[in-house]
């Protein structure tokens, strides 16, 4: 008969790792590291720049100032490129967007938008060199903004297969089915989409797997200032006031942005800093991309909408290589003008603007197919979308959480 302590000792003695093998493996440390870093570098997790239209009451009284600001930005008599002209038009329209109805006490501006993120995963059931499966996760973004700027932003991930969430291609879905529908970590994006007992995530070959299943790899691309979460995410908005301390002069603001002196919340640092995004890793100042990140955050501050809305378009228009791609259709089927702005050699930002009003319809982050990033699918242009926001119309509602439009006051 075996005693408990004997059993413990004997189980330990089954350890097949010998001291010699352990020491020999330790000598492999350098070579294994070389193999790790020989792999393509991971895709940076970045915050995409996109004009999120949170319109505050302060916009209503600063239309003239905003228009004047835009006009002041026009680069003298130099001819505008088609893309710059489209963006200038959008900047003007941005000011006119403040013609939204004013809000009565307790009312909020409400906007519902669609967020799309590309995600890739591999299952243990797949061969070692098998191509990842690609899934597109959709979610809904709702924002409520009061006249004071207070409010709420809620992002609700879609359940598996719902509201547009889908495998990127028919071939991806067919491979997933043929594998026995292994655990899909990209589809586990809602509290109702439980890991266990969900047919979409059920893996009969891995009944005892962790949390109802597992994947061997998962690549997500976050963008536009947020990641798709595992469940509904709510952020409270407080009225921002610090942006009022920023200058109106665009060149001054541009200089401060380049020097890393403007923080995400609109507060000002006294001297050139490491960019608030931190991705510069110690380098003082912000790259153009990082400046766009800061502006994107500032635009979430209702007080900053009129002040900075046109600045963003100006920054885009001044970026070298901005091109007008002409008439394009956004994910909601709306036709607009597309402008593509190179971010760096592997990344582009496409904005689609309403042809008539210049209002922003959608933003799409595009990444080169060759980067190893999770891509919806390789495209003929060599770039594929990784993240997208499609903006809905703005209406007036009676409170946070309500979505039905009321008549304008």
Partner 1 sequence: MKTNRRRSENASTPCQGQFETFYNDHFRAISRYVARRIPASSFDGVVAATFVVAWRKFATAPNPSLAWLYRIASFEVARERELLGRQPQTADLNDLDLIDTTPLEDVLDVSKAFSQLTESDAELLRLVYWENLSRNEIADVLGLSVNAVNVRYHRALDRVSGAVNRLASTARADQPTNRNPKEKP
Residues 365-404 that bind partner 1 (CB under 8 A): none
Considering the complex, what minimum distance in angstroms separates the CB of residue 371 from partner 1? Answer: 12
Which token pair is 376?
A: 């919806």
DSSP 8-state class, residue 304: G
Write phi, then psi, for 107 (nearest 5 degrees): -90, 160
According to CB under 8 A, which residues from 174 to 213 bind partner 1?
208, 210-211
Radius of gyration of the chain (CA): 25
With CB under 8 A, what is the number of residues at the site for partner 1?
Answer: 74
Report the Cα 377 to chain-centroid distance in Å.
18
Residue 300 CB contacts under 8 Å (≥ 6 apart), including other chains: 52, 54, 225, 237
For partner 1, which stretch binds (CB under 8 A), given 29-37, 72-80, 170-178, 392-400?
29-37
According to CB under 8 A, which residues from 116 to 145 bind partner 1?
124-128
According to CB under 8 A, which residues from 292 to 331 bind partner 1?
293, 297, 300
Of 233 and 406, the one with the shorter C-beta distance to partner 1 is 233
Residue 270 CA to residue 291 CA, distance in Å, equals: 17
Of 16 and 270, the one with the shorter C-beta distance to partner 1 is 16
Task: Identify the residue whose tokens are 């005892």.
Answer: 208
For partner 1, which stretch binds (CB under 8 A), given 9-17, 91-99, 341-349, 360-368?
9-17
Residue 183 CA to residue 204 CA, distance in Å, equals: 10
For partner 1, which stretch binds (CB under 8 A), given 10-18, 95-103, 328-336, 378-386?
10-18
Residue 190 CB contacts under 8 Å (≥ 6 apart), including other chains: 156, 157, 158, 159, 230, 231, 232
Go through the chain and tell me how many residues it has. Answer: 409
Is 28 an interacting residue with respect to partner 1 (CB under 8 A)?
A: yes
Report the Cα 159 to chain-centroid distance in Å.
19
Considering the complex, what minimum distance in angstroms separates the CB of residue 78 from partner 1? Answer: 34
Is 78 an interacting residue with respect to partner 1 (CB under 8 A)?
A: no
Of 339 and 387, the one with the shorter C-beta distance to partner 1 is 387
Is 281 an interacting residue with respect to partner 1 (CB under 8 A)?
A: yes
Residue of the chain from 39, 170, 270, 333 that contacts partner 1 (CB under 8 A): 39
Of 176 and 226, the one with the shorter C-beta distance to partner 1 is 226
Residue 233 CA to residue 140 CA, distance in Å, equals: 11
Give the SS3 label for residue 318: helix
Residue 218 CA to residue 324 CA, distance in Å, equals: 35
Is 227 an interacting residue with respect to partner 1 (CB under 8 A)?
A: yes
Of 297 and 348, the one with the shorter C-beta distance to partner 1 is 297
Give the SS3 label for residue 281: coil
For partner 1, which stretch binds (CB under 8 A), given 173-181, 223-231, 244-252, 390-398?
223-231
Is 333 an interacting residue with respect to partner 1 (CB under 8 A)?
A: no
Which token pair is 222?
A: 């976050």
For partner 1, which stretch binds (CB under 8 A), given 45-53, 102-110, 169-177, 337-345?
45-53
Write phi, then psi, for 306 (nearest 5 degrees): -70, -35
Is 215 an interacting residue with respect to partner 1 (CB under 8 A)?
A: yes
């Amino acid at each position: 008969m075996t005693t408990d302590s004997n059993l413990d000792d004997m189980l330990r003695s089954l350890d097949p790792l010998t001291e010699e093998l352990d020491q020999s493996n330790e000598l492999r440390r350098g070579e294994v590291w070389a193999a790790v870093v020989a792999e393509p570098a991971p895709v940076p997790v970045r915050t995409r720049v996109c004009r999120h239209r949170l319109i505050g009451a302060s916009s209503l009284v600063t239309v003239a100032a905003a228009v004047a600001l835009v006009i002041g930005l026009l680069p003298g008599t130099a001819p505008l490129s088609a893309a710059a002209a489209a963006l200038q038009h959008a900047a003007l329209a941005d000011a006119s967007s403040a013609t939204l109805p004013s809000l009565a006490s307790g009312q909020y501006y409400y906007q519902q938008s669609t967020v799309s993120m590309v995600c890739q995963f591999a299952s243990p059931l797949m061969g070692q060199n098998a191509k990842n499966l690609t899934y597109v996760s959709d979610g809904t973004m709702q924002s409520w903004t009061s006249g004071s700027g207070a409010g709420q932003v809620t992002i609700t991930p879609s359940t598996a297969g719902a509201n547009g969430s889908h495998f990127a291609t028919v071939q991806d879905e067919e491979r997933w089915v043929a594998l026995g529908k292994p655990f899909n970590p990209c589809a586990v994006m809602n509290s109702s989409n439980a890991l266990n007992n969900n047919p979409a995530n059920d893996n009969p070959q891995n009944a005892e797997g962790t949390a109802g299943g597992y994947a061997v790899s998962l690549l997500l691309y976050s963008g536009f200032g947020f990641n798709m979460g595992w469940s509904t995410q709510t952020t409270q908005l407080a009225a921002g006031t610090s942006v009022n301390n920023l200058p109106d002069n665009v060149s001054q603001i541009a200089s401060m942005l380049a020097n890393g002196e403007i923080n995400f919340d609109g507060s000002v640092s006294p001297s050139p800093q490491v960019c608030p995004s931190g991705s510069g890793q110690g380098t003082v100042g912000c790259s153009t991309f990082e400046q766009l990140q800061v502006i994107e955050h500032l635009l979430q501050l209702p007080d900053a909408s009129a002040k900075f809305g046109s600045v963003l378009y100006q920054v885009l228009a001044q970026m070298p290589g901005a091109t007008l791609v002409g008439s394009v259709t956004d994910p909601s089927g709306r036709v607009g003008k597309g402008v593509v702005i190179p971010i760096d050699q592997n990344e582009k930002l496409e904005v689609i603007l309403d042809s008539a009003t210049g209002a922003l319809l959608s933003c799409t982050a595009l990444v080169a197919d060759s980067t190893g990033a999770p891509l919806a699918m390789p495209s003929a242009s060599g770039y594929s979308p990784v993240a997208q926001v499609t903006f809905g119309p703005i209406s007036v509602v009676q409170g946070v959480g309500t979505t039905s439009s009321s008549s304008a006051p």
